Amino acid sequence: METVTLGRTGLEVSRLGAGLVQIGSLDDAAEAGRVLNSALDAGISFLDTAECYGRSEEFIGRTVAHRRGEYVLATKAGHVADGHAGEPWTARTVADSIDRSLARMRTDHLDLVQLHAWDIARPPSDEVMQAVLDAKRAGKTRFVGYSQENEPAEWALRSGLFDTLQTAFSLVDQRARHGLFELAREQGVGIIAKRPIANTVWGMGTPLSGDAGDMVMELQRRAGVMRDIGPLPGAPDDPVAIALGFVLAHPEVDTAIVGTGDLAHMLSNIEIVENELPIAAEAVEELHRRFDLVGRDWRSIDSTTSFEPAPQPFSA
Read off the pLDDT of residues 202-229 as tens digits, 9 standing for 90 and up.
887 776 766 668 888 899 999 999 999 9
Q: What is the pLDDT of residue 174?
A: 96
Over pLDDT 90: what percentage of the chain?
78
276-301: string of b/e by CB count within 10 Å (b at 16+)? ebebeeebbebbbebbeeebeebebb
Q: What is the pLDDT of residue 299?
A: 83
Q: What is the pLDDT of residue 164?
A: 98
Q: What is the pLDDT of residue 122?
A: 84
Residue 196 near residue 257 (C-beta atoms within 8 A):
yes
pLDDT score of 287 more than 70: yes
Q: Select the more confidently predicted residue: 18 or 213.
A: 18
pLDDT tens digits for range 44-66: 999 999 988 899 999 999 999 99
- What 3 state SS string does the chain have? CCEEECHHHCCEEECEEEECCCHHHCCCHHHHHHHHHHHHHCCCCEEECCCCCCCHHHHHHHHCHHHHHHCEEEEEECCCCCCCCCCCCCHHHHHHHHHHHHHHCCCCCEEEEEEECCCCCCCCCHHHHHHHHHHHHCCCEEEEEEECCHHHHHHHHHHCCCCEEEEECECCECHHHCCHHHHHHHHCCEEEEECCCHHHHHHCCCCCCHHHCHHHHHHHHHHHHHHCCCCCCCCCCCHHHHHHHHHHCCCCCCEEEEECCCHHHHHHHHHHHHHCCCCCHHHHHHHHHHHHHHCCCCCCCCCCCCCCCCCCCCCC
Q: What is the pLDDT of residue 269?
A: 96
pLDDT score of 94 more than 70: yes
Give the closest residue to 232 by CA, choosing from 167, 177, 196, 280: 280
Query: What are the residues facing 144 on neighbouring strands?
Result: 113
Give the model's confidence band at 309: pLDDT under 50 very low, under 70 low, under 90 confident, else very high: confident
pLDDT tens digits for range 147-197: 999 899 999 999 999 999 999 999 999 999 999 999 999 999 999 999 999
Q: What is the mean pLDDT of the segment spanning 197-204?
A: 86
pLDDT tens digits for range 97-141: 999 999 999 999 999 999 988 788 788 999 999 999 999 999 999
CB atoms within 10 A of CB 234: 13
Q: Select the more confidently predicted residue: 122 or 2.
A: 2
193-197, 265-269, 302-306, range with the lowest pLDDT:
302-306
Q: What is the mean pLDDT of the segment spanning 257-269?
A: 95
pLDDT score of 271 more than 70: yes
Over pLDDT 70: what percentage of the chain?
94
Give the closest residue to 266 by CA, choosing from 59, 39, 31, 20: 39
